[in-house]
Amino acid sequence: MIILAAGKSSRMRGKNKLLSEIDGKPMIRRVVEAALNSKVDEVLVVLGWKAERVRKVLGDLPCRFILNKEYEKGQSSSVRAALSAVGDPTQAILVLPGDVALIDQRSINLVIEAYNNHGSPIVVASHKGIHGHPILLSRETFEDIARIDEATYGLKSVVQKHQNEIQVVEVGTEDILLDVDTPEDLQRIRKPRGKHGSRGRSSARGAVQRRRT
């Protein structure tokens, strides 16, 4: 699994959102621990802005760090940096932004199990018809991923190319849709869950932004 943790948190008023605490734990640590507790073979964390501070809160975890020196060029540069570090035997990668703060191992595992059962080129976690994270991309998409950039909308271009081959997995929780872009998003994420387990919806970004099936 590739966890994207290089961005500048541009709407967080100078703070690195990934270091913000959720239920007493840094957001990025929650996300990495969920990945490590899942069925993924390896967790790669892409660092960039304030890399050493992020690395410090993850230092005791068995993940591999990739430094993206070109992180200011956007998320696509982080995905490419991680892809270049993936070993040849790798048959698929999962991509997860580090600010999907409430992700759990169950949701990750459902995506992996769907791929293992059906082998679709792209598998996306979904809730009530809305695509969220993580997204799994098989080896046959790697050449396309290696060419992505922000000008061509990053991973969205890969998803678009394979739009008729996408498998959507209903995971039964809106947590896969909730990311943190602003201080207001962070406050919503921190709220106790309501009667039906909801903390309020933010936006699912990136390659799988709010697409209904």
Residue 81 belongs to a domain = yes
Contact 77, 49 (CB under 8 A): no
| φ, ψ for residue 55, nearest 5 deg | -60, -40
Query: Residues 6 or more apart from 58 whose CB is under 8 A from it?
Result: 28, 29, 32, 45, 65
First to last CA, the chain: 25
Question: Once rounded to an integer, what is the mean pLDDT over residues 53-59?
Answer: 96
* 212: pLDDT strictly greater than 80: no
Residue 54 belongs to a domain = yes
Strands 2-5 and 44-47: parallel
What are the tokens at 8?
Answer: 């500048």
Question: What 8-state DSSP symbol labels residue 49?
Answer: T
Question: Once rounded to an integer, what is the mean pLDDT over residues 157-171?
Answer: 96
Residue 155 belongs to a domain = yes
Q: Count structural domains, the chain.
A: 1
Q: What mean pLDDT, rounded, does the chain reach?
A: 91
Question: Once rounded to an integer, what is the mean pLDDT over residues 121-133?
Answer: 97
Q: Which helix (H) or strand (E) holds 167?
A: strand 166-170
Q: In which domain, by residue range, is 92 found?
A: 2-208
* 187: pLDDT strictly greater than 60: yes
| Residue 200: predicted pLDDT | 52
* 118: pLDDT strictly greater than 90: yes
CATH number assigned to the domain comprising residue 196 = 3.90.550.10
Q: How far is CA 3 from the centre of its chain?
A: 6
**Radius of gyration of the chain measured on its C-alpha atoms:** 16
Q: What confidence tens digit (pLDDT) does each residue in 3-25 have?
A: 999 999 988 888 999 999 999 99
Residue 28 belongs to a domain = yes
Query: Residues 6 or more apart from 38 whose CB is under 8 A from it?
Result: 1, 105, 108, 109, 112
| Residue 43: predicted pLDDT | 98
Query: Residues 6 or more apart from 49 whose CB is under 8 A from it?
Result: 6, 7, 8, 9, 16, 71
| Residue 197: predicted pLDDT | 52
Residue 213 belongs to a domain = no
Residue 52 belongs to a domain = yes
Residue 160 belongs to a domain = yes
Q: 192: pLDDT confidence band, cut at 50, 70 and 90? A: confident
One-letter amino acid for residue 34 of the chain: A
